[in-house]
């Protein structure tokens, strides 16, 4: 384990909308040992839901694939999360970080996923390669 890391986990699952709740619950339970507040755990749950939904709907266009989440807990009450998909990738990350921007031509999606994730986490970063997938790096610091 890395310096000050007290626990880590890895979760791999199919990119199905039904697995969004599974991922959300698993990360919530994993983070519980840091005794987050109800607001902090609520923020974590929303962020995980948004991230997994993005992989299912945007990265894989509801056609399946794999999502891998790794997470580490630290002595200073931080939770670092990495969420990886091997979907279509993002052509313009900066554009996707803007509120109300969406790649969903149907108009059903509001384009608030990344802005919500940014607002509810302490650190948020996206890397992506078109045709090779996307990685989200998310960090929470619990009080």
pLDDT in tens, 74-126: 999 999 999 999 999 999 888 877 876 666 555 565 667 899 999 999 999 99
- Please count the CA atoms within 13 angstroms of the CA of 98 that sit on its side-chain side: 8
Residue 112 is predicted with a pLDDT of: 79
| CA–CA dist 24, 8 (Å, integer) | 16
Residue 99 is predicted with a pLDDT of: 72
Is 70 exceeded by the pLDDT of residue 56?
Answer: yes
Instruction: Dig out the tokens for 64 from the structure.
Output: 């399946």
Is residue 75 part of the annotated active site? The answer reads: no
Is residue 4 part of the annotated active site? The answer reads: no
Q: What domains appear along the chain, each with residue ranges and CATH number?
A: 6-141 (3.30.565.10)
Is residue 54 part of the annotated active site? The answer reads: yes
Q: From 87, 117, 82, select the one nearest 10 (Cα to Cα).
A: 82
Residue 93 is predicted with a pLDDT of: 85
The arithmetic mean of pLDDT across residues 55-62, rounded, is 92
Share of the chain above pLDDT 90, in %: 79
Name which of 71-75, 110-114, 129-133 the model is least confident about.
110-114
Angle at 80 between CA 118 and CA 12, to 5 degrees: 100
Residue 96 is predicted with a pLDDT of: 78
Q: Which of 24, 40, 45, 54 is catalytic?
A: 54
Question: Is the entire prediction scored with pTM above 0.85?
Answer: yes
């Amino acid at each position: 384990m890395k310096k000050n890391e007290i626990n880590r986990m890895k979760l791999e699952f199919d990119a199905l909308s039904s697995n969004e709740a599974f991922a959300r619950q698993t990360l919530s339970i994993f983070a519980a040992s840091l005794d987050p507040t109800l607001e902090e755990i609520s923020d974590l749950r929303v962020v995980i839901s948004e991230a997994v939904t993005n992989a299912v709907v945007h990265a894989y266009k509801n056609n399946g694939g794999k999502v891998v989440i790794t997470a580490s807990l630290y002595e200073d009450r931080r939770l670092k999360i990495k969420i990886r998909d091997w979907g279509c990738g993002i052509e313009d990350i900066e554009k996707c970080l803007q509120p109300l921007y969406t790649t969903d031509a149907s108009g059903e999606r509001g384009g608030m996923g990344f802005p919500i994730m940014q607002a509810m986490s302490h650190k948020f970063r996206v890397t992506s390669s078109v045709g090779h997938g996307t990685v989200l790096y998310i960090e929470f610091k619990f009080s």
